A and B are shown apart, each in its own frame.
Chain A
């Protein structure tokens, strides 16, 4: 049984024609063994109806073009300045600005307004005293410190210089605010977890 492969149609035809018309002896390639299906040698094929592959040039050009495109994209992106993440605290949600309803407050009696004004004055005075006490305390601290440093300088110059140096171990400094009540003894918190659902902004 003859094996008909698409590549090997023509030599067969040639062979046939040559055997018919014997006045044109032609060299016919013989198959090496019955495993070799085509008449062509190993690793060769007849030229197919397409452009022969230009391997090296086109690839390099394509790569260069791609690189240039990427560089252009990078330049464009880098030109755009980085933006700050918008802070949700300062954006009032729309639902509070749409409606026009206004709260109607009850009228204040003169005693009530009098009481409020006097309370405000007392509060102002209290705050002023507090603020002044704070200023006085800071002033006293600074004065004591300066005096101590002066005395130290008189004692020894080396110690004074060492005292003036900045403290590297001071920062980072962390402190939690005071709590309303001390921690409850024997408190068993329920099991649970915290999910971070912060909106991620991308430029």
Chain B
């Protein structure tokens, strides 16, 4: 009985691995775990190269700033400048009130939303930097404010949600 129930096939025999079928099934993609938002290392750059630089474009008009950011990204790709990240900063909403001519009451004029896009580049050479700046400036659309600065940890932290409970506890502990 035990001899009949045995399914062993020896490695040298041609019947080895006869019952296998998993290799025929399509490969299962491993479950994507939520990636922790971690700060990437900020490079300082050498004497002849700049480190991480943020090109921040701000405007009230969403379409303009979005298209300009896409243009800058493609330009950097074309000029083989390494682009680390290309992200959007949270939008800011402002209520503009103006004082009426006759009266002391503030009247609501408009609700403006400020949008900001950031393209982060690395390894910009010192000789090519002015050329890139010149190209970006000549294509700058109206109403879009351009700002280029070094990337810092504070810039990264401004993208994260604030945790008042954690800060309170830390203040209490120390």
Interface check B19, CB cutoff 8 A: no
**Which residues of the other chain, B, contact A74 by a CB distance below 8 angstroms?**
166, 169-170, 173
**What is the interface of chain B mostly: helix, strand, loop, or mixed?**
mixed
Q: Is the CB of B94 within 8 A of A194?
A: yes
Please pick, from A88, A134, A180, A192, the residue contacting B90 in the complex, using a CB distance under 8 A. A88
> Which residues of B (4-56) have their CB < 8 Å from a CB of A?
34, 36-37, 45, 47-50, 53
CB–CB B169/A70 < 8 A: yes
A70 and B90: CB pair below 8 A?
no
Question: A70, A81, A141, A173: which contacts B37 (Cβ < 8 A)?
Answer: A81
| B165 contacts A173, C-beta separation under 8 Å | no
Give the nearest-CB partner of A86 in chain B: B90
User: What total of A-B pairs shows CB separation below 8 Å?
Assistant: 154
Q: How far is the CA of A71 from the CA of B49 in the complex (A)?
A: 44
Interfacial residues, chain B to chain A (CB-CB below 8 A): 34, 36-37, 45, 47-50, 53, 59, 62, 79, 88-99, 101, 106, 109, 111, 115, 126-131, 133-135, 137, 140-150, 159-166, 169-170, 172-173
**A172-B91 in contact given A82-B163, A84-B160, A180-B142 (Cβ < 8 Å):** no
User: Judging by beta carbons under 8 Å apart, are A165 and B47 in contact?
Assistant: yes
Q: Does A171 contact B (CB under 8 A)?
A: yes
Q: Is the CB of B169 within 8 A of A190?
A: no
| Chain B proximity mask over A160-203: 1 for CB below 8 Å, otherwise 0 | 00001111001111111111100000000011111111111111
Q: How far is the CA of A84 from the CA of B88 in the complex (A)?
A: 11
| Known A177-B144, A192-B98: A145·B161 in contact at CB below 8 Å | no
Contact: B160 with A171, CB < 8 Å?
no
Decide yes or no whether A78 CB sits under 8 A from chain B.
Answer: yes
Q: A190-B101, A197-B111 provided; 6 other pairs, C-beta below 8 A?
A: A85-B161, A149-B127, A171-B53, A180-B142, A194-B94, A198-B91
A83 touching B160, Cβ below 8 Å: yes
* A142 lies within 8 A of chain B by Cβ: yes
B88→A87 contact, CB < 8 A:
yes
Report Cα–Cα, A84/B97, bound state, in Å: 31
Contact of A164 with B131 in the complex, beta carbons under 8 Å: no
Chain B residue with the shortest CB-CB distance to A181 = B142
> Within the complex, what minimum Cβ distance (angstroms) separates A84 from chain B?
6
Measured in the bound complex, the distance between the Cα atoms of B97 and A197 in whole Å is 12
| Complex-state Cα separation, A199 to B111, whole angstroms | 14
Q: Which residue of A lies closest to B62 (CB)?
A: A89
**A202 & B146 in contact (Cβ 8 Å cutoff):** no
Query: A178 to B140, Cβ gap below 8 A?
Result: yes
In A125-181, the 8 Å CB interface with B consists of: 134, 137-138, 141-142, 145, 149, 164-167, 170-180
A202 B164 Cβ-Cβ under 8 A:
yes
Please, which residue of chain A has its CB at the minimum distance from the CB of B111?
Answer: A197
Q: How many angstroms from the CA of A170 to the CA of B131 in the assembled complex?
A: 13
Q: With a CB–CB cut-off of 8 A, which chain B residues contact A178?
A: 140, 142
Q: Is A90 among interface residues, defined by CB-CB distance under 8 A?
A: yes
Residues of chain A within 8 A of B93, CB atoms compared = 196-199
B164 lies within 8 A of A78 (CB): no
Are A89 and B115 CB-contacts (below 8 A) given A174-B147, A202-B164? Answer: yes
In the complex, what residues of B have CB within 8 A of residue A138's CB? 79, 131, 135
Q: Which residue of A lies closest to B135 (CB)?
A: A138
